[in-house]
């Protein structure tokens, strides 16, 4: 699978300092190769999960310490890099971004950088129109690019934004 990326608060430079992890994430994205006619959101999530777990990423660590909360988890964590794979509705953008911020600047101090993976607008359109897949309302790379600068005072952690393309 191809992708494009955008760096918020010098995230790509932080990832370059963790170059092996950056390469690993890029390998994971390229390894996901599914028939577009079968590319549902749950299926794509499962494929990403399989690839991350094969490379020893921690699955769904809690964002907060204390009692487990099923809603307060990030998808993957490894060596101070947190990953959120976002094929959900676009209304979750604020929650996802706050997870990165909480893991970075709160008392947890568990990540140096977040990686936020979603589809591009064109890719989503193709999945809907050509393959009749239910991707309407899903978060897009372009929406994150538009919204994230407005959260500049609240979201201070570097975030590497990745948009999946065909």
H/E segment holding residue 7: strand 2-8
Q: What CATH number corresponds to the domain at position 71?
A: 3.40.91.20
Over the chain (166 residues), the average pLDDT of each successive run of 10 is 96 97 98 86 94 97 78 93 95 92 83 97 94 92 96 94 94
CA distances in angstroms from 49 to 6, 10, 89, 98, 113, listed in the order given: 22, 26, 19, 22, 19
Taking alpha carbons only, the member of 62, 61, 56, 161 closest to residue 115 is 161
- Looking at residue 106, its pLDDT comes to 66
Instruction: Locate 29 and state its tokens.
Output: 């994205």
- Looking at residue 107, its pLDDT comes to 61
Strands of the sheet containing 81-85, edge to edge, are: 2-8, 159-165, 113-119, 81-85, 76-78, 58-59
* DSSP E strand boundaries for 94-141: 113-119
- Residues in the chain, overall count: 166
Could you tell me whether strands 76-78 and 113-119 are parallel, antiparallel, or unpaired per DSSP bridges? Answer: unpaired
Instruction: Locate 156 and state its tokens.
Output: 């201070």
- Name the domain count of the chain: 1
Give the range of the structural domain holding residue 133, as residue numbers without chain letter.
2-165
- Looking at residue 123, its pLDDT comes to 95
């Amino acid at each position: 699978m191809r992708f494009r990326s955008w760096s918020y608060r010098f995230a790509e430079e932080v990832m370059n300092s963790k170059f092996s992890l950056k390469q690993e994430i890029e390998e994971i994205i390229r390894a996901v190769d599914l028939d577009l006619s079968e590319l549902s959101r749950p299926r794509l999530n499962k494929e990403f999960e399989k690839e991350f777990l094969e490379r020893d990423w921690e699955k769904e660590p809690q964002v907060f310490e204390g009692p487990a909360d099923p809603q307060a988890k990030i998808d993957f964590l490894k060596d101070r890099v947190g990953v959120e794979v976002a094929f959900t509705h676009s209304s979750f953008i604020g929650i996802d971004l706050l997870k990165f911020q909480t893991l970075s600047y709160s008392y947890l101090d568990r990540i140096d950088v977040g990686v936020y993976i979603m589809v591009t607008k064109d890719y989503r359109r193709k999945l809907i129109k050509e393959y009749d897949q239910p991707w309407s309302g899903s978060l897009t790379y372009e929406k994150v690019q538009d919204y994230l600068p407005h959260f500049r005072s609240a979201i201070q952690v570097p975030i590497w934004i990745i948009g999946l393309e065909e």
